[in-house]
């Protein structure tokens, strides 16, 4: 058999540079100071991997080049939202930690009706790409059908406009609604006709009472004028240190009515914090 030789191609992507410790510290300090997200040295490889795609898309050749661009006036204006989408974790699902939605339907909403509440206001403070928002909306719609005259308003906020764009569109991979009962799928989702890329779109009735707004939980004061009966702040506190967690919870509570409910993630805790909350169930609290 004749010998065959492999000739290297010149156009192959040979970007192999690593992020220096100094560059990582600049990014890490910025992320913590601006957004409260802890990023210790052990996460350098993770950040390096997440930024690599953006560096390639921008036609740059090193992390230092990207750093200089990002912190320039042009970079802060044009790159910030893409940077946030890359460095923040936007993992979410429909009916994630379903016990919260069960409690909302079985206890919270009937309590509000009993108190004479006509319109419930709920805030999803880290709404990401919208799955939590639409899950809440499904629960409320189902409740409304059994309680004529009852209405709701939902606010969704996040630090990433890019992921909120997905929430605005309300289009998701079809597999993401596998956890939803068939009757609710048929009622609240429209299937695409593209079988090569099967997607679903949420029904307009789920969207009509939802408002979306940019908000950084690290802000000293939140540009929120309403008071809310229920606030969801789930699986975001884990990225903050203990002091920041306590500050964020207290700021959220300023917008929670007396007797209102706060839901946090199952890996999160407010133990030993100075916060105006009473524990009702694990990860479910009531404003004192």
User: Which residues are catalytic, by number?
Assistant: 50, 158
Bridge partners, 199 (sequence order): 173
Count of CB atoms situated within 10 Å of the CB of 97 = 18
Q: DSSP strand E in the chain: where?
A: 119-124, 151-158, 171-173, 189-191, 199-202, 210-214, 228-233, 256-264, 277-281, 284-287
Give the Cα separation of 89 and 132 in Å (integer).
15
Go through 193-208 and write b for each residue having 16 or more CB atoms within 10 A of its CB, e for each that does not.
eeeeeebbebbeebbe
Distance CA 128, CA 215 (A): 11
Give CA–CA dist 123/217, Å, rounded.
13
Print burial letters for 212-251: b (CB count within 10 Å at least 16), e (below 16). beebebbeeebebeeebbbbbbbbbbebbeeebbbbbbeb
Q: Which residues pair with 256 in a beta bridge?
A: 228
**H or E, element range at 83:** helix 80-87
Integer Cα distance of 96 and 94 in angstroms: 5
């Amino acid at each position: 058999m004749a010998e065959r030789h492999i000739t290297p191609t010149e156009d192959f992507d040979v970007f192999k540079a690593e992020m220096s410790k100094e560059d990582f510290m600049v990014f890490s300090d910025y992320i913590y100071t601006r957004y409260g997200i802890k990023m210790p040295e052990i996460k350098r490889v993770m950040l390096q991997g997440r930024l690599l795609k953006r560096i390639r898309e921008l036609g740059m050749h090193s992390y230092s080049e990207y750093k200089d661009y990002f912190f320039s006036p042009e970079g802060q204006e044009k790159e910030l939202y893409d940077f946030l989408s890359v460095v923040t974790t936007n993992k979410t699902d429909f009916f994630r930690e379903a016990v919260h939605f069960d409690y909302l339907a079985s206890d919270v909403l009937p309590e509000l009706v009993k108190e004479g509440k006509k319109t419930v206001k709920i805030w999803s403070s880290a709404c990401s790409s919208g799955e939590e928002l639409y899950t809440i909306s499904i629960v409320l719609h189902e409740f409304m059908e059994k309680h004529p005259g009852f209405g709701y308003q939902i606010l969704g906020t996040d630090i990433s406009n890019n992921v909120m764009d997905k929430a605005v569109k309300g289009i998701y991979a079809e597999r993401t609604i596998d956890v939803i009962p068939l009757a609710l799928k048929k009622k609240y989702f429209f299937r695409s006709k593209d079988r090569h890329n099967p997607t679903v779109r949420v029904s307009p009735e789920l969207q009509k009472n939802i408002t979306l707004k940019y908000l950084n939980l690290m802000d000293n004061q939140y540009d929120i004028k309403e008071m809310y009966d229920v606030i969801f702040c789930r699986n975001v506190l884990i990225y903050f240190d203990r002091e920041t967690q306590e500050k964020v919870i207290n700021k959220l509570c300023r917008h929670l009515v007396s007797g209102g409910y706060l839901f946090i993630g199952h890996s999160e805790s407010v133990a030993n914090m100075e916060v105006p909350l009473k524990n009702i169930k694990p990860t479910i609290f009531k404003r004192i």
